[in-house]
Amino acid sequence: MKENKFDLKKVCTYAVIGYIIAVAVFSFAAWNKISASRIAKIYPILALLGLAIVAGYGWWLQLCEKKGKSSIGLHFINTIAKYWFLMEQLIQRDFKIKYKRSVLGVFWSFLNPLLMMLVQYVVFTNLFDLRGMGVVHYPIYLLAGIVTWNGFSDCTNQAMRAITGNASLITKVYVPKYIYPVTKVLSASINIILSMVPLLLVTIIYGLFNDLYLTPALLLLPIFLILLIVFIIGVSFLLSSLMVFFHDVEFLWGVISTMWMYATPIIYGIKILETKQMWLAKAMQFNPMYHYVEFIRSIIIYGTSPDLMEYVICAAFSFGSLLIGIIVFKKTQDKFILYI
């Protein structure tokens, strides 16, 4: 197995430099687009705090490495560096298998959300007075929700079988087992990124006739993707662990995910619930996917940064999901070999 050379000092340095550049670019390019939001008032403080956290954690990891001490962060980084070649091969394999013997191939990543948006737009604009219910730019509103939900659904469905589908490798070669669901999520996440292309293109074309423009707030899309993928990884750890012991999870998840999709304002607006079922509108605050969908809609449709509280909520769901997933996966992984 090929082993990548890894320089922790370089990684930390590049992380800090990258963070400074991102903060500077966003501050100068997008400041006028977010000045009306609450985050504008404390953005400089948040930027400096984030920089201090990144630099401090990097310095602490270097100190641990020099003194030979172990830490979760250092162990994770070294494991990823050690098995990166294998992860790269697994990601390429999964991505190629997905489009094997497909005439259109990767083009389906662009076409699928567009076709779903077209069908649902035709159906639901005739059933609901969505413009009257406060839904502006409905085609983009709908497409943003479809792209986000499809990404979540595709990633979790693939990662759910990460352990059972790699049983032959797990029984023959030692590799940290969490690598399998992570690589499944990363390979499926490529489709999320590809799906952003038709979303942005449709926004540009639609905006030419409806006064909707892309703004520098698009620089926040990487934050959205990171938070969403972290949340998906946490859910994937949980599902892939349960799938080993209970194969019914695959069918049960299909039902749950369908119910979850209709419980999320993808094809309808939250104001419909506020006028008819207020308790459902309040319960929506506990739906993680609602917050992720609203996050990307704020960026694409309104051209602004989401409210500060949305950052906190999305981050809480992401890292809460990851923590629960890691705990369940870690407690069950030693028994995988007995059931696969």
Q: How far apart are CA 174 and CA 255, in angstroms?
A: 34
CA angle 333, 335, 337 (to 5 degrees): 95
**pLDDT on residue 269:** 78
- Inter-residue long-range contacts of 244-252, CB under 8 Å, 24+ positions, other chains counted: 244/163, 244/164, 244/332, 244/335, 244/336, 244/339, 244/340, 245/332, 245/335, 245/339, 247/164, 249/160, 250/160, 250/161
Mean pLDDT lowest among 68-77, 140-149, 159-168: 68-77
Mean pLDDT lowest among 138-147, 164-173, 217-226, 254-263: 164-173
Same domain, 119 and 263: yes
Residue 269: inside a domain: yes
Residue 160 corresponds to which tokens in the numbers above? Answer: 């759910």
Q: What are phi and psi of 132, to 5 degrees?
A: -70, -20
**Between residues 166 and 290, the one the model is more confident about:** 290
Residue 284: inside a domain: yes
**Average pLDDT for 152-163:** 90
Residue 97: inside a domain: no
Residue 249: inside a domain: yes
Same domain, 139 and 36: no
pLDDT bracket for residue 289 (50, 70, 90): very high
Same domain, 115 and 67: no
Residue 95: inside a domain: no
Residue 294: inside a domain: yes
**pLDDT on residue 288:** 93
**Between residues 329 and 308, the one the model is more confident about:** 329
Residue 150: inside a domain: yes
pLDDT bracket for residue 127 (50, 70, 90): low
- Domain limits for position 132: 102-339
Q: Is the pLDDT of residue 74 over 80?
A: no
Q: How far apart are CA 340 and CA 337, in angstroms?
A: 6
Same domain, 7 and 139: no
**Between residues 338 and 20, the one the model is more confident about:** 338
**Between residues 231 and 85, the one the model is more confident about:** 231
Same domain, 56 and 106: no
**pLDDT on residue 208:** 80
**pLDDT on residue 3:** 46
Same domain, 9 and 152: no
**pLDDT on residue 237:** 94
Q: How far apart are CA 110 and CA 118, in angstroms?
A: 13
Same domain, 205 and 305: yes
Same domain, 108 and 213: yes
Three-state SS string over the chain comes to: CCCCCCCHHHHHHHHHHHHHHHHHHHHHHHHHHHCCCCHHHHHHHHHHHHHHHHHHHHHHHHHHHHHCCCCHHHHHHHHHHHCHHHHHHHHHHHHHHHCCCCCCCCHHHHHHHHHHHHHHHHHHHHHCCCCCCCCCCHHHHHHHHHHHHHHHHHHHHHHCCCCHHHHHHHCCCCCCCCHHHHHHHHHHHHHHHHHHHHHHHHHHHHHHHHCCCCCHHHHHHHHHHHHHHHHHHHHHHHHHHHHHHCCCHHHHHHHHHHHHHHCCCCCCCHHHHHHHCHHHHHHHHHCHHHHHHHHHHHHHCCCCCCCHHHHHHHHHHHHHHHHHHHHHHHHHHHHHHHHC
% of the chain residues with pLDDT over 70: 67
Interval 176-191: pLDDT, tens: 888 889 888 988 888 8
Interval 2-15: pLDDT, tens: 444 445 455 555 55
Mean pLDDT lowest among 35-44, 95-104, 105-114, 283-292: 35-44
Same domain, 189 and 334: yes
Residue 131: inside a domain: yes
Among 77-86, 165-174, 321-330, top mean pLDDT goes to: 321-330
**Average pLDDT for 298-321:** 88
Same domain, 107 and 54: no
**Average pLDDT for 114-132:** 65
The domain total for the chain is 2
Same domain, 29 and 132: no
Same domain, 204 and 118: yes
